[in-house]
Amino acid sequence: MTAEQNNWQADLDLILAAARQAGEVAFGYFGNKPEVWWKNEGRSPVSAADYAANAVLEKVLRTARPEYGWLSEETEDGHDRLSRKTAFVVDPVDGTRAFISGLDTWCVSVAVVHDGLPVAGVLVAPALGEEFLAVKGGIAQRNGQTITVSFPSSVLNIAAPKDVMADLQKNTAQTINRIKHVPSLAYRLAMVADGRIDGTLVRTGSHDWDLAAADLILQCAGGRLVNLDGSPIIYNKPVVSHPSLCAASEAALSGLLNAL
């Protein structure tokens, strides 16, 4: 293991411990009707659990690595992160709509991003009893077991908006089966990583904090999350929102991109 890999492994251990703490705090609000506010002109909910989990992550991580930048969905972005080569990218509760509705598909998402690319990532889903993790150059794991993407067959199970399904089916010889919507984008990408689904399409408007940790987990499981031209996602830029994206195994990705 190189010195750099040792550094990222230490960061992985740190963010996993922090995400577990944040997940425990958030889980304390789950099913207990936490207070909810609306941001982005009433389009996006945020709950007391989001803020409480964010406070835990910020205290633990920024105390441990004060030289790292910080980007969180629930912290005002001061853009100081742009002067740092390495940054934490955090979503304290990814899938807030699911959380406040009592659905268990939500998770704490934490990544370390270096020079624009994720090098350590964890997803902790307390209501499901699941933890996903990966470090640059390593394997992807769920609850300590190695995970890999599915091998494409004649039927592709895809998470995608209804309005693109007809075009997908028209432009590929494979049968496309649309799965039920999964509110947490990070968790949906983890489902591609562990082979439960073959791919997912992501609408315009996702953000670094939705993607970074799950992106690395998917990479280490044998898949990729890309722009529709096939280029990788670059993180910790001045603008942290993204256009439409596609995620799948390496074997299925080119076919999906061509169909799109």
- Please measure the distance between the N-terminal and C-terminal CA atoms of the chain and give it in whole angstroms: 40
| Structural domains in the chain, sorted by start | 3-146 (3.30.540.10), 155-259 (3.40.190.80)
Tokens in use for 165? 């399904």
As a whole number of angstroms, the distance between CA 37 and CA 97 comes to 12
- Give the pLDDT confidence score for residue 186 in this predicted structure: 97
- Give the pLDDT confidence score for residue 86 in this predicted structure: 98
Strands (E), the chain: 36-39, 44-47, 69-72, 86-94, 107-114, 117-125, 130-135, 141-142, 145-146, 155-159, 175-178, 199-202, 206-207, 223-227, 241-242, 245-249
Q: Are 42 and 30 in contact (CB under 8 A)?
A: no
3-state secondary structure of 131: strand
- Report DSSP state, residue 76: -
Tokens in use for 68? 């790292």
- Give the pLDDT confidence score for residue 56 in this predicted structure: 98
Tokens in use for 226? 């890309």
- Give the pLDDT confidence score for residue 11 in this predicted structure: 98
Q: pLDDT digit of tens for each residue in the chain (260 aa)?
A: 566 666 899 999 999 999 999 999 999 999 999 999 998 766 789 999 999 999 999 999 999 999 999 999 999 998 999 999 999 999 999 999 999 999 999 999 999 999 999 999 999 999 999 999 999 999 999 999 999 999 877 788 898 877 777 777 777 777 888 888 888 999 999 999 999 999 999 999 999 999 999 999 999 999 999 999 999 999 999 999 999 999 999 888 988 888 77
Q: Are 69 and 61 in contact (CB under 8 A)?
A: no
As a whole number of angstroms, the distance between CA 112 and CA 95 comes to 20
Give, in degrees to the nearest 5, the angle at Cα 45 between 69 and 199.
Answer: 75
What's the whole-model pTM score? 0.95
As a whole number of angstroms, the distance between CA 131 and CA 122 comes to 7
How far is Cα of residue 116 from the mean position of the Cα atoms in its chain? 15
CA atoms within 13 A on the CB side of 257: 18
Tokens in use for 244? 């439409």
Q: What are phi and psi of 152, to 5 degrees?
A: -60, 140
- Give the pLDDT confidence score for residue 191 in this predicted structure: 97
Q: Within 10 A of 199 (CB to CB), how many other CB atoms are there?
A: 27
Tell me the angle at which helices 185-193 and 208-220 cross, rounded to the nearest 10 degrees. Answer: 10
